[in-house]
Amino acid sequence: MTPTLSSIVEQLQQAGQSHLLGFVNQLDETERQSLLQQIVHLDLKLVNQLFAKHRDATNPPAANIDTTTNLGITPPLALRLEAANTLSGVTRSQALAEGERLLRAGKVAALIVAGGQGSRLGFDKPKGMLPIGPISERTLFEMLAHKILALQRDYETTIPLLIMTSPSVHDETVSYFEEHDYFGLSDSIEFFCQGTLPVVDSQSGQILLQSPHTITVSPNGHGGMIEALVADKLLDKYQQTGIEHFFFGQIDNPLSPTCCPELIGFHSLTESAVTLQAIAKQGAQDKTGNIVQMDCRIQMIEYTEMPTQLAQQTTPTGQLYFWAANIAVHIFQTSFLQQLAQDPTALPYHSAYKTVAHIDHLGNQIQPTEPNAIKFERFIFDALPLSPKTTVIEADRKLVFAAVKNHASASFNTVDTCQQAISTLHRNWLIAAGVRVDMNIKVEIDPCWARNAKQVGERSDLPQTIATDTFLKSSRSTAR
């Protein structure tokens, strides 16, 4: 039954959100119906509960850690780069073989979160459409697609690719893939859209209006992927087709080791519900999540919540004691994701202060210069305390991490630093294979030409010398 205006008015009054109808008499019928539909789909009780929790909170989770004794918190047990070549009795060669077996058997899918706009980068489209190839100017989406194509070719398999969007980028993302014939992945790609939550005023908890007929909403975080997968019945679908493990990554890291066989193999042979790829922090105040061990469980502490005294602690050899940085590269057992899906409250909500434009009660546009609003979101790493077994494996930063998060004016995680990292990595592959490469030029390698240093060394058509900017690609690759 369609809710009546009177019933909506009553609900808003009870929730203290009556201002949402403040302009209803000024709207045309289309705008009026649009606003009412938005209100109908609001979970007003949840919004008020989340704001009350935010208002009453006094200390972040890490504030209760004893910074004098480190009681209850240690670095994670992990397979470090300089450590022995085994983890829980599993060698790297065994892990590689197991991961390759699972890929060939069609037991692995890739899930990439790509709901962000490129606005922070000065790019007014979905971030995945950002040109990032140092020479080719291939987009982040195209580079991801070519990774999947190369893996499918090498292992003679199909790897389902699930891309999670947000409402603000969904249609444009799907249209982009359609325009490029899905980069050859039309039979194995799925798009699904995460949910949103209203943005509220940080003082009053009132839901903000973007316009007289539009409620201000924000994506509910990458932890919203569980709810979104359930809504689109994707977990059941892929479990029924035999998918046992999901690789999880973010679109803004083109060096992300998508469906890395060794990582998958360690995950499988150690019977872990979750496996995390970690890199060593470069400094105590790195803006990355801290992977730690608390109460015998692997957990994540955001850099904003990590006590400075702990973050700065060092070992007798001068290395950071809490070394493990999260780069959002995970492997999940499908059965564990199903377990999370059974409990809608499994992942908590977090609140974040943001600067959000809106209209006031008179309809005037307000452009704040300081944080004025609260956004609510969930994080997938909050599933870690629920995992019966979690494995952490360190990787070399130069091989797996070159995120694009900041405007060109920043000193790290920019388009420029990302492109430099890609070119440096690919140059090193060529040098290791015996190619003389001028250090001042750019090189770029498409994964369909070679996925790694080993495959570069196996090419029969390697040039002896590279002295100009060079993009090495297979005939099937499409370059800009």
Per-residue model confidence (pLDDT) at position 217: 96
SS3 274: strand
Per-residue model confidence (pLDDT) at position 84: 75
Per-residue model confidence (pLDDT) at position 72: 79
Indicate the Cα dihedral angle 135, 458, 261, 186, nearest 10°.
Answer: 50
Nearest one of 432, 433, 419, 430 to 466, comparing CA atoms: 430
DSSP per position, 288-355? SPEEEEETTEEEEE-TTTS-HHHHT-B-TTS-BSS-EEEEEEEEEEHHHHHHHHT-TTSSPPEEEEE-
Q: Which amino acid is at 154?
A: D
Per-residue model confidence (pLDDT) at position 168: 94
Neighbour count for residue 466 (Cβ, 10 Å): 19
Per-residue model confidence (pLDDT) at position 284: 93
285-339 per-position pLDDT tens digit: 898 999 999 988 999 998 888 999 999 999 999 999 999 999 999 999 999 999 9
The alpha carbons of the chain give a radius of gyration, in whole angstroms, of: 24
Per-residue model confidence (pLDDT) at position 65: 53
Phi-psi bin for 271: left (phi > 0), alpha (psi -120 to 50), beta? left
Q: CB-side exposure of 167: number of CA atoms within 13 Å?
A: 9
SS3 363: coil
Two tokens at 394?
């360190």
Nearest one of 336, 384, 33 to 214, comparing CA atoms: 33
Per-residue model confidence (pLDDT) at position 480: 33
Which pTM was predicted? 0.93
Per-residue model confidence (pLDDT) at position 8: 92
Residues of the chain with pLDDT under 50: 61-64, 67-69, 477-480
Pair 264, 25: CB distance under 8 Å? no
Q: How far is CA 309 from the centre of its chain?
A: 28
Angle, alpha carbons 75-262-380 (nearest 5°): 55
Pair 219, 357: CB distance under 8 Å? no
Cα-Cα end-to-end distance for the chain: 52
Per-residue model confidence (pLDDT) at position 58: 54
